[in-house]
């Protein structure tokens, strides 16, 4: 797929706000015909720009979970060490996101847990056994500000 243009970026922005918007409304908002809009969406899906669609769940009305943000520092930052760590991360579905970072730590991970005991298991059985880990710093979230926006602002 060629580079994204302003219309593609606008489509993505609107889909991020409401992935269930009708194609007709989306097309009208970006100034395209419905068929042209749908064609662009399909091209972005095929190219992997759009990887899927998801639902934002109000945790006060569903099974509650706690997001834990984890900063990982490795012993060494060689390509071999980074590759070994990333391969280990991919084996654990408990790890929802993993970002290679600049700054004070090498990786930022996000996990979702039901309670502190659940995180203790993940810390002991997974994080502390990963190859090359020098330091683990974890922070428990209080709430996701963007997931709890007032309904009119979504």
Instruction: State the pLDDT at residue 143.
Output: 82
Q: Is domain 4-45 annotated with CATH 1.10.10.10?
A: yes
Instruction: State the pLDDT at residue 146.
Output: 72
- In the chain, where the domains are located: 4-45, 64-138
By three-state DSSP, how is residue 23 classified?
A: helix
Bridge partners of 74, per DSSP, are 133
Instruction: State the pLDDT at residue 151.
Output: 59
- Tell whether pTM > 0.85: no
Bridge partners of 110, per DSSP, are 69, 97
Query: Which residues touch 106 (CB under 8 Å, ≥6 apart)?
Result: 72, 73, 74, 77, 82, 85, 100
Write out the two tokens for 122: 């993940």
Q: Which of 153, 140, 142 is nearest to 59 (CA)?
A: 142
Instruction: State the pLDDT at residue 63.
Output: 61
Write out the two tokens for 52: 């899927």
Class of domain 64-138: alpha beta
Write out the two tokens for 111: 């996990």
pLDDT per residue rounded down to tens, the chain (154 residues): 678 999 999 999 999 888 999 999 999 999 999 999 999 999 999 999 999 988 766 655 556 688 999 999 999 999 999 999 999 999 999 999 999 999 999 999 999 998 999 999 999 999 999 999 999 999 999 887 776 555 555 4
């Amino acid at each position: 797929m060629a580079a994204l243009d302003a219309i593609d970026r606008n489509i993505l922005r609107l889909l991020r706000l409401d992935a269930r918007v009708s194609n007709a409304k989306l097309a009208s908002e970006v100034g395209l015909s419905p068929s042209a809009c749908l064609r662009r969406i399909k091209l972005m899906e095929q190219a992997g720009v759009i990887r899927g669609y998801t639902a934002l769940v109000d945790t006060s009305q569903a099974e509650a979970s706690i997001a834990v943000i984890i900063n990982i520092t490795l012993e060494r930052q060689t390509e071999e060490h980074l590759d070994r760590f990333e391969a280990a991360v991919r084996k654990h579905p408990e790890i929802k996101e993993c970002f290679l970072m600049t700054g004070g730590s090498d990786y930022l991970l996000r996990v979702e847990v039901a309670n502190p005991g659940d995180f203790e298991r993940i810390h002991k059985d997974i994080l502390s056994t990963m190859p090359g880990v020098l330091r683990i710093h974890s922070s428990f979230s209080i709430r996701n500000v963007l997931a709890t926006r007032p309904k009119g602002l979504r």
